[in-house]
Structure 1
């Protein structure tokens, strides 16, 4: 009985070893580096800026940077924003609507929550990879973000009641 168990354990060890070697061989055998794939040409660029788009007793939102990141297949272009919730008793939900870039309607992605009395860095994102023309027809590079207009909508997280709407114009 113990010879059978010993034989079975030995067979399992040899099998696991062969499987492991096979996996390592496949990994080492693939010489093509996918990071240099022509379809995945990566772009990263940024431009520092400092533009207050909302500043009142309750809330401050400042655009600190324009950025571009990704590849031709999936690329993000947008703004990095610093948000300060000056309310000490209310968590805020912040969204963006009615956006246009250089006069053309766009649909960037942005909804965030900022806890009462705290700061947060977040991103307003235009997705400009494959099949994005429907949402952002005129934004292809960081240089295209000009004359950006829209509305920032601020709500109370608990009650969803509207706290304010702020028209913005980012140059």
Structure 2
């Protein structure tokens, strides 16, 4: 009886050891999987700024922050812009063209319509990731977004008639 009991205890100890090794091996494999997915780590970086780009009788456009969100494979980098439509009679369409970043041509996305007499917060966005190099060859991180020059184009939201073009320089 004692031999059976002792054999049973030995069996439990061996089983516990095997189960423990199995769990440790699984956790090690999980840790390796996580380390290979570093590209999927979330990125979120926001820097508050206050730079007036345009301020006249028609429109006021101010950059309020510089941001970076997404992951290491696919993310957005850009500026949050506050647009105030000072005109009460017409919706304004606002966009950006002829953009360079540190001297290289870029194609950020930004076009919006702001209703008459209202304000809106919008984003000027550089997409970073799959096939973005041909549009934004030198913007990969928030630090790359410097010495941004271009033209803000403001037009009538219904007729597309030109209201103004304004050269900008974002530092």
For residues 113-163 of structure 1, the C-alpha deviation after alignment (integer angstroms, 9 at most, x for no partner) is 000000100000000112211110111110111110000111101111011
Counterpart residue number, 1:138: 138
Match of 2:111 in 1: 111
Q: Is the 8 A contact 1:49 1:65 kept in 2?
A: yes
Tell me the distance in 2 between the aligned counterparts of 1:63 and 1:42.
24
Instruction: Show the counterpart of 2:165.
Output: 165
Does residue 1:52 correspond to 2:58, yes or no?
no
Distance 1:50 1:114 in 2: 20
Contact 1:59–1:84 (CA under 8 A) maintained in structure 2: yes
CA distance in 1 between partners of 2:128 and 2:158 (Å): 33
SS at match of 2:121: strand
Q: Is the 8 A contact 1:105 1:136 kept in 2?
A: yes
SS at match of 2:39: helix
Q: Could you tell me the TM-score, scaled by structure 2's length?
A: 0.78
Larger Rg: 2
* Structure 2 stretches lacking a partner, 5+ long: 1-29
Aligned counterpart, 1:68: 68
For structure 1, which runs of at least 5 residues remain unmatched after alignment?
A: 1-31
Compute the RMSD of aligned alpha carbons: 1.1
Aligned residues: 137
CA distance in 2 between partners of 1:133 and 1:158 (Å): 34
| Distance in 2 between residues matched to 1:159 and 1:52, nearest whole Å | 27
Query: For residue 9 of structure 1, what is the aligned residue in structure 2?
Result: none
TM-score by length of 1: 0.78
Identify the residue that residue 90 of structure 1 maps to in structure 2. 90
